[in-house]
Amino acid sequence: MTANSTYAPDAAPSGEAPDFPMPRTCPFAPAPEYVGLRAEAPVSQVRVPDGQLAWLVTRYADVRRLLTDPRVSANRFHPNLPLTEPVTPQTRRNIAAVGRSLIGLDQPEHGPQRRMLIGDFTLRRAQEMRPHIQRTVDECVDAILAGPKPVDLVAALALPVPASMITKLLGMPYEDRDLIVRSADAQLRRTVSAEQRQQTSSELRAYVDRLVTAKEAEPTDDLLGRLVVQNRQTPLFDHDMLVGLAMLLLVAGFETTASMISLGVAGLLENPEQLAVVTGDPAAMGLAVEELLRYFTVVDALPRVATADIEVGGVTVRAGDGLLLSFASANWDTDVFADAGELDVRRGARHHMAFGYGIHQCIGQNLARAELEIVFRTLFTRIPGLRLAEELDGLPFRKESNIYGLDRLPVTW
């Protein structure tokens, strides 16, 4: 195949390439197929929902290497970029909205955009956010303790905490938090109809557009306001790109963090000896969060496109071929993480790829860490008798989804 040719799904014998995403079977483990693929076929072809073929990369070393390879592109507009959800007009619109900002850019365009933002995402800034996060979590736990049992922890804690953080970060009025929660909830739940989903999504987009317009008219002292001011000095973004970036920050930091909160709580409750380690020693929480991030790896795999022929894992990926780099598989690679299938909060491994690797590595990772630490510490300290109100296996895990999570987490105490 030559560069720029369209990837022809029919070129490979049909029936050979398995479908992707590969569903999970155990609520706490990535798709079981990854084990065999890492051993036998670490770079192998899969078929994504729109019928296109792509190379699934499952070993830690290969995923990490490709993420820093300049021949690997994150271009969201490339026709061969393997999308892991069925392509609807809605997905196309979402991609078009965020694709020109950060996550869909290669060098040299990526660096200047990213550098305009990183001052707002330093470790120091994340620490300064802690009192705000703590207040939010305390309010949620107050409401949980005052309310009926059992309670759904997704609605009562996992969604409001990241919503409140994002609202504060972007400089949105506090009252607008509900809109974000409703919209994320609509995207999350499978019971919500496609039309409803589309409607909340357009509502959110219109809202973000108004927000950006307001910041452009009168820049306030928050991330978006500062960005507008910087952008006047060094113009990089037009209005639509600013809206896209604000949307990206909204969605990238929300569902992921919410998923990690509910999965982390479920993971600790199901492993009481691990929970005892962190409740016994508050200093252990930092590394416990790293381990939960590795263990659950909520962003299962992300798409890329090769822009030149690349030898990897015993195959030649051709220029123009789609790639799916599996963080979930990489993080369970036993060549790198001994007993990777065990949740071990004392593992002390920071080199997991739950936040990706390379130039796109999560910009919000230190905020996410702060949120998760505060949530777990506060919840288990204030409600020591917390337990699942239903059997783990029966809970609505999003086993088919590329962003893993839970629709609902009923708990009692």
Partner 1 sequence: MTLVVNRDLCIGAGQCVLSTPELFDQSEDGRVLLRRRPVDADEGRAAVDLCPSGALRLTDDTRSRPVVPDRDAATKGWG
Binding-site ranges for ligand HEM (CB under 6 A): 74, 102-103, 114, 169, 248-249, 252-253, 256-257, 260, 298-299, 302, 327, 354-356, 360, 362-364, 367-368
Residue 302 beta carbon to partner 1: minimum distance, rounded to whole angstroms: 14
Q: 180 with 166: CB under 8 angstroms?
A: yes
> Alpha-carbon distance 59 to 41, whole Å?
9
Which residues, other chains included, contact 210 with Cβ-Cβ below 8 Å and sequence gap of 6+? none
Count of alpha carbons within 13 angstroms of residue 156, beta-carbon side? 23
What, of ligand HEM, partner 1, none, does residue 260 touch, CB below 5 to 8 Å by kind?
Answer: ligand HEM
**Phi/psi of residue 90, nearest 5 degrees:** -65, -50
Residue whose C-beta lies closest to ligand HEM: 364
Identify which of residues 124 and 387 has a Cβ nearer to partner 1 in the complex.
124
Identify which of residues 223 and 403 has a Cβ nearer to partner 1 in the complex.
223
Residue 107 beta carbon to partner 1: minimum distance, rounded to whole angstroms: 10
Identify which of residues 187 and 314 has a Cβ nearer to ligand HEM in the complex.
187
What, of ligand HEM, partner 1, none, does residue 253 touch, CB below 5 to 8 Å by kind?
Answer: ligand HEM
Residue 248 beta carbon to ligand HEM: minimum distance, rounded to whole angstroms: 5
Residue 299 beta carbon to ligand HEM: minimum distance, rounded to whole angstroms: 4
Sign, CA torsion 197/250/182/389: positive
Which residue in 361, 387, 335, 402 sits closest to 74, CA to CA?
361
Residue 325's SS3 state is strand
Identify which of residues 65 and 114 has a Cβ nearer to ligand HEM in the complex.
114
Question: In sequence order, what are the beta bridge partners of 397?
Answer: 406
Residue 374 beta carbon to ligand HEM: minimum distance, rounded to whole angstroms: 13
What, of ligand HEM, partner 1, none, does residue 351 touch, CB below 5 to 8 Å by kind?
Answer: partner 1
What, of partner 1, ligand HEM, none, does residue 256 touch, CB below 5 to 8 Å by kind?
Answer: ligand HEM
Identify which of residues 32 and 70 has a Cβ nearer to partner 1 in the complex.
70
Q: 315 with 333: CB under 8 angstroms?
A: no
What, of partner 1, ligand HEM, none, does residue 68 touch, CB below 5 to 8 Å by kind?
Answer: partner 1
Chain residues that interact with partner 1, rule: CB under 8 A: 67-68, 111, 114-115, 117-124, 126, 350-351, 355-359, 361-363, 365-366
Identify which of residues 184 and 252 has a Cβ nearer to ligand HEM in the complex.
252
Residue 409's SS3 state is coil
What, of partner 1, ligand HEM, none, does residue 373 touch, CB below 5 to 8 Å by kind?
Answer: none
Which residues, other chains included, contact 406 with Cβ-Cβ below 8 Å and sequence gap of 6+? 154, 158, 259, 262, 263, 266, 395, 396, 397, 398
Identify which of residues 114 and 399 has a Cβ nearer to ligand HEM in the complex.
114
> Alpha-carbon distance 136 to 134, whole Å?
5
Reported for 212-217, long-range contacts at CB under 8 A and 24+ positions apart, including other chains, are 212/239, 212/242, 212/243, 212/246, 213/239, 215/171, 216/242
